[in-house]
Structure 1
Amino acid sequence: MSRRIIIVTAVHAPSARFLADAYKSLCEQELPEGWEWHWLIQEDGRTDEVEPHVPDDDRVTFRQGRPGGPGVARTIALAHADGEYVKILDADDQLAPGTLARDLAALEADPSIGWATSRVLDFLPDGSTAGFPGDPEHGPIECRAVVDYWAAHDYRAQVHPATLFVRRDLLLAIGGWMALPASEDTGLLLALNSVARGWFSSEVGLLYRKWEGQMTGQASHVDADERDARMAVVEARARALDHFQWRYPVSSD
C-alpha cells in the first residue's frame, strides 16, 4: 500500500487560472518507490469559476465551502487529509523540481524534525525570478529560532510559510491555520517553530508568483492597525506555546 503526501491548496476565483501551472509542477515531482501524492483543492467559497480549472486526475479532489479566507479553506481540507504528511501549495505558486522528495527525505531521516521549509524565488510577471538574501544555513532549525528572528526583523521570517511540509499529526495538534484575515500561514509557521525542530533546504523549493491579484498585494494587507493586531496575536500564540513547554515529539519519559 502506498504512503501519501497530501497537497493542500486554497483557491478563489481570481487565482483559479493558475491551477494548471501548479498541477504541472506537481506532476513533475519524483517520489521514492511506495510514495504518492494526493491534491486537495478547497475553494474559499462556492462559485462556478474555479471547477473548470481543476485538473481531471484521480489524484486531485476538489471541494467547495462557505468563504472564510485561505486559512479556513486549508483547515477544512484537513478533514480529508489521509496521508502522513501535508505539503502547502498556494494556487498561484509552483513547486520546483525535487521539492517533495527533499522535504520527505528530511523528515523521514529524523523523527525529531516536525516540519520543513525551502528556499523561495519570486516568480515575476515577465517570467524572470528573483531571490532573497538572508536564507538560513541548510539543515535543522531549532525551536524558537524563527520566532526570535521574526520578532527582531520587523515581522519577517527567514523562511517562507508557503513552503511548509509538515507531519499531519503535528499540524492537527497545532490546530491548523490561525483564524486571521491574513498572516494565518505565518501564525502556523511560528507555532510549529515553538514546539518542534524544523528543516531548511537551501535548494529552491517554490516559485512564488507575484501578480496584481494576490492577497498580499492588496492595501488591506498592510493596514497598520490590523497588521499590528495580527502580529501581536501571532507572537502571543507562539510565545504561549513555548511557555507551556509542549514539544514534538512527545517524550516517553
Structure 2
Amino acid sequence: MRSQAMPSGWDWEWIVQEDGRTGFLASVLPADDRISTGTGRNGGAAMTRSMAMARVRGELVRALDADDLLPPGALASAINTLTQNRDAAWCVSACLDLHPDGSLRPGPHDPPAGLLADGVMMDGYKSGRFPVVGTTMTAHTALVHAMGAWPAVPASEDVALLLLCEAVSQGWMIDEPGAIYRKHPKKQTAQPAHWDPAERAALDGILLPRLEAIRSLGWRWSPSQGMTATGEPS
C-alpha cells in the first residue's frame, strides 16, 4: 500500500479484517495510523468484508483479497476515473493473472475502456463469461452501503455486489491492470466447492430475483444525487 502514489488531496486507509480471531494480523502488519485491523467469527469472505465496512471512513472503497496484489498506480487510476467522470458511480479494471511459473496473462473477456454499456456485467454473468474480476471494482462508499455491502453468499460475493451496483448506477472500465490475481492450487476459486452446482444454482436463485426486483423499482444512484426513484423500470 505504501507504494501507491495518490492524487493530490487523497490518502488511503487499509481496513484489514480477519475471518477468525487468531490475532495473526498484529504480527504481520506494520504500525501505521492508516491501517485498521479487526477480527470476528468465521463467516467467509462476504461477512468478513461487510464487517470491515463498519470502519470505513473514505469516500471510495475497494476490496482486495489477501493473496492478490495492487499494481503501482491502481488506486490513483480509479480515483482519477471517478473524480473526472462524475456520471460513473463505480469503475472496474483489467486484471493480470499471476501463474505459479511467474507469468502474467490478461483476462480473456475485458470490455472496451470507457463508459460501460448498461447490463454488460449481467450479460456476462448469465453467459458464464463474466467480463472482469469482481475485486477490481472501486465504488463510492455510499453506494456500497446502499446496496447492503457484500451479499451473504458462500462464493462470488464480489461479483454479486458488482451486479447490484450495476443495477442502479453507471460504471466505467479502465484498461490498465488494476489487480494482479494470484493463481495457485490453494486459492478458494480453485477448490471444487467453489464450483459446486447446487451452490451455483442457489446463488442464481438468490441474486437474479433480487437484481430483477431492484431494476423494476427504477432506482438510480449517482455521486451527485445519491439514490433517486424515477418511478420507471430501468
TM over 0.5: yes
The structure 1 residue matched to 2:15, chosen from 28, 37, 40, is 40
The structure 2 residue matched to 1:177, chosen from 133, 150, 156, is 150
- More displaced 10-residue stretch of structure 1: 120-129 or 54-63: 54-63
Deviation at 1:150, TM superposition (A): 1.6
Is residue 2:185 matched to residue 1:212? yes
Q: Please give the secondary structure, in 2, of the residue aligned with 1:203.
A: strand
Read off the aligned partner of 1:111 and give its amino acid letter: R
The structure 1 residue matched to 2:118, chosen from 143, 146, 149, is 143
Deviation at 1:133, TM superposition (A): 2.2
Partner of 1:189: 162
| TM-score in terms of structure 2 length | 0.91
**Whole-angstrom CA distance in 2 between matches of 1:101 and 1:48:** 31
Partner of 1:52: 27
Partner of 1:248: 221
Deviation at 1:244, TM superposition (A): 1.2
Distance 1:221 1:58, change over 3 A: same
Q: Please give the secondary structure, in 2, of the residue aligned with 1:189.
A: helix
Aligned partners of 1:147 and 1:238 also within 8 Å? no
Structure 1 residue ranges, 4+ long, deviating more than 4 angstroms after superposition = none
After superposition, the C-alpha distances for 1:10-29 in whole angstroms (9 at most, x for unaligned) are xxxxxxxxxxxxxxxx2221
**Whole-angstrom CA distance in 2 between matches of 1:51 and 1:209:** 24
Aligned residues: 226
**Whole-angstrom CA distance in 2 between matches of 1:149 and 1:211:** 24
Read off the aligned partner of 2:161 and give its amino acid letter: L
Deviation at 1:251, TM superposition (A): 4.8
Partner of 2:87: 112
Gaps of 5+ in 2: none
Deviation at 1:134, TM superposition (A): 2.5
**Whole-angstrom CA distance in 2 between matches of 1:126 and 1:187:** 31
Deviation at 1:252, TM superposition (A): 9.2
Gaps of 5+ in 1: 1-25
| TM-score in terms of structure 1 length | 0.85
Identity of aligned residues (%): 38
**Whole-angstrom CA distance in 2 between matches of 1:59 and 1:248:** 29
Is residue 2:90 matched to residue 1:90? no
After superposition, the C-alpha distances for 1:27-83 in whole angstroms (9 at most, x for unaligned) are 221111111001000001111444322233222111101111111111111111011
Higher strand proportion, which one?
1
Is residue 2:141 matched to residue 1:168? yes
Aligned partners of 1:95 and 1:205 also within 8 Å? yes
**In angstroms, what is the RMSD of aligned CA positions?**
1.6
Q: Please give the secondary structure, in 2, of the residue aligned with 1:86.
A: strand
The structure 1 residue matched to 2:36, chosen from 43, 55, 61, is 61
Deviation at 1:159, TM superposition (A): 1.9
Aligned partners of 1:116 and 1:166 also within 8 Å? yes
**Whole-angstrom CA distance in 2 between matches of 1:240 and 1:149:** 19
**Whole-angstrom CA distance in 1 between matches of 2:93 and 2:213:** 26
Q: Please give the secondary structure, in 2, of the residue aligned with 1:162.
A: helix
Aligned partners of 1:190 and 1:235 also within 8 Å? no
Give the 5 Å matches for 1:120-135: 120-135=95-110
Aligned partners of 1:85 and 1:167 also within 8 Å? yes
